[in-house]
Structure 1
Amino acid sequence: MAKCKQPGIDLQLFVYNFSFTTERPVRNLKQLMESHTNQRGCTMFAAALSFKRLFAVALTLVVAGCASAPEAPAPKAESFTLKHARFGHTAVADDEAIYVFGGTNERGFIGNIERIDPVTKTSTVLPVRIMPRRYASAVWDGGELIYIFGGDGFQQGNYHVEPTIEIFNTRTRKVSRTKMHLPRRLNSAARLGEQIYVVGGSTFDADSGFRTSPLVTAYNFNNEQLNRLADLPDARDTQVFAVGE
């Protein structure tokens, strides 16, 4: 196709303007092209170029311009590898490290604790064990103790909701235990002041299986008791967070 090289005709500029105007520039362009055709014999598309073709050209340029914008490279994720693959575990951080408790894998329930050092990016299996459990919750008390509540356990060939609170000392690496009244799996716990609130979760009944619970209990550090509070409006497996503490 022959190109019309007459001065004063700028198709690119017209397409830019076209995106903000109506048919009026189209008629002006046709008149301009026809006048140059009569003078120079240039027959580019003065009579054949339609409104739809101009719209297609404009749309193509707009799309091409948007697609050509460079994207910022995605940041690289830091890699932390556990010694033991697992799911259903619980994890909590103190002011030095991240602790991973229990869980399960293809070989069954796990009863170890892994400590992740965020500085060296290494994980170490600690020389202490907890009761094998999954779907528990864990809370750091702000000092040197981590409390583990509820979850699933497996004993003598039977699954059960674990009725034991385990207390792990991050300094001595020892575990102590106390009774958990109203145990639940998939509960959520958070510390607020001198208490840990354990919220929701599921209980187990031999006839009906697992059932979500509206229970809210509070573990008091001073008397080491778990007291029942007002129930949630709705029973649920949930997540809870403390704000402002």
Structure 2
Amino acid sequence: MTCLIKNLLQLTLLALLVSGCSNAPSQKNSTGFSLPNGLYGHAVVNNSDKIFVLAGSQKGGLSRDIHIINPQTKKVTTLENKLLPRRYHSAVWDGKNSIYILGGVTIWDRYSKLQPLIEVYDIPSKQVKIIGEMPVPRRFGSAVYFDGKIIVCGGSIFPRIPGEKLIPTNTVAIFDIALKQWKKAASLPFAEDTRTVIIKNHIYAIGGYNNTSSSDHFSQYDISNDQWTSLAAIPQNISAHSAVAVNDKIYTFGDYRDLKASYVYDLSTRKWKQSSFKLNASRHNAATELNNVIYVIGGTTSPSGPFLDSIQQFSLLK
């Protein structure tokens, strides 16, 4: 275990001790259908009932909160200081009671550091535990869940020499939850920060950023054969976006420069086109689909803000 990871573990234990001082979780409720505060670089998942907004960056620093959105009542419940502070991370739901949070950037000793620790949020008990480390910690790695495994694609790693640019990676790693073991899979065709979605037994990597420029790359990963295939390019280069798969379509939301960009890819026609959604300007947002409604949550419009508290909704029902 490296010295950095030891120090991060010590910081984690201190944070857990501080957040565990009360007998009950610190909780706030809101009836306005928006986040309690602006947030970007966060992760979002749903468990077919509620939507969970996890950590991210807010005014004043990194968040440690979990915001739980009830789409039926339009109520947002906040569990304060439950998580490690991090942004530009990923999260997946295991189809049961657990949400896995991994990757991203934390702040340690006043500097940004890659976060190696994996957290698990237990939905029924509202408790969080740490179960291990990523073999290749990364910023903007994108994760999906499939058959008891978490598959993490792409992202960036910090250089060994301070002041140098981030290094994009095409590494794909698979975490077996039951065995708590990692293995390496076939690499992405391109080294970049990307967004991934899963449809059946295929993963799709959409757009990205290689720390020099954004891309129009679109690739398909066959999980069974451990093989990547390049597909039709996106109509424009996109990065700092979110993506959602619904049935046999993939939707994207936002872009670093074109903040209102929104595209849809149809697997049946194998073509991209602009979506009909009227997206409010944002980048570094996060999106999820629940009951035929896509929720695009938070984001920002520039490095200095404003940081958005919005919950945009797009119905897929005609």
Same fold (TM over 0.5): yes
Deviation (angstroms), 1:106: 2.2
**Conserved 8 A contact 1:194-1:220:** yes
Alpha-carbon distance in 2 for matches of 1:151, 1:235:
17
The structure with the largest helix share of the pair is: 1
**Conserved 8 A contact 1:92-1:98:** yes
**Conserved 8 A contact 1:128-1:174:** no
Give yes or no for the alignment of 1:136 onto 2:77.
no
Give yes or no for the alignment of 1:228 onto 2:184.
yes
Which of the residues 135, 138, 158 maps onto 1:181? 135
Number of equivalent positions: 167
Structure 1's unaligned 5+ residue stretches are 1-78
Give yes or no for the alignment of 1:100 onto 2:22.
no
- Where does residue 154 of structure 2 map in the other structure? 200
Higher mean C-alpha displacement, 99-108 vs 222-231: 222-231
Change over 3 Å in CA distance of 1:128–1:225 after alignment to 2: farther
Deviation (angstroms), 1:119: 0.7
Alpha-carbon distance in 2 for matches of 1:135, 1:231:
21
Deviation (angstroms), 1:93: 0.5
Which of the residues 31, 34, 37 maps onto 1:81? 34
**Conserved 8 A contact 2:114-2:137:** yes
Deviation (angstroms), 1:224: 1.4
**Conserved 8 A contact 2:150-2:175:** yes
Alpha-carbon distance in 2 for matches of 1:226, 1:127:
31
Between 1 and 2, higher relative CO (CA 8 Å, sep ≥ 6) is seen in 2
Alpha-carbon distance in 1 for matches of 2:33, 2:158:
35
Greater C-alpha Rg = 1
Q: Percent identity?
A: 33
SS in 1 for 2:137: coil
SS in 1 for 2:194: coil
Deviation (angstroms), 1:155: 1.1
Which of the residues 78, 102, 113 maps onto 1:125? 78
The structure with the largest strand share of the pair is: 2
Deviation (angstroms), 1:129: 1.0
RMSD, matched Cα: 1.4
**Conserved 8 A contact 1:153-1:162:** yes
What is the one-letter code of the residue matched to 1:156? D
Deviation (angstroms), 1:80: 2.6
Structure 2's unaligned 5+ residue stretches are 1-31, 202-318
**Conserved 8 A contact 1:128-1:173:** no
Give yes or no for the alignment of 1:240 onto 2:193.
no
Alpha-carbon distance in 2 for matches of 1:125, 1:226:
32
- Where does residue 170 of structure 1 map in the other structure? 123
Alpha-carbon distance in 2 for matches of 1:209, 1:169:
36
What is the one-letter code of the residue matched to 2:135? H
Higher mean C-alpha displacement, 120-129 vs 175-184: 120-129
What is the one-letter code of the residue matched to 1:119? Q
Deviation (angstroms), 1:88: 0.8
**Conserved 8 A contact 1:200-1:237:** yes
TM superposition score normalised by structure 1: 0.65
What is the one-letter code of the residue matched to 2:141? N
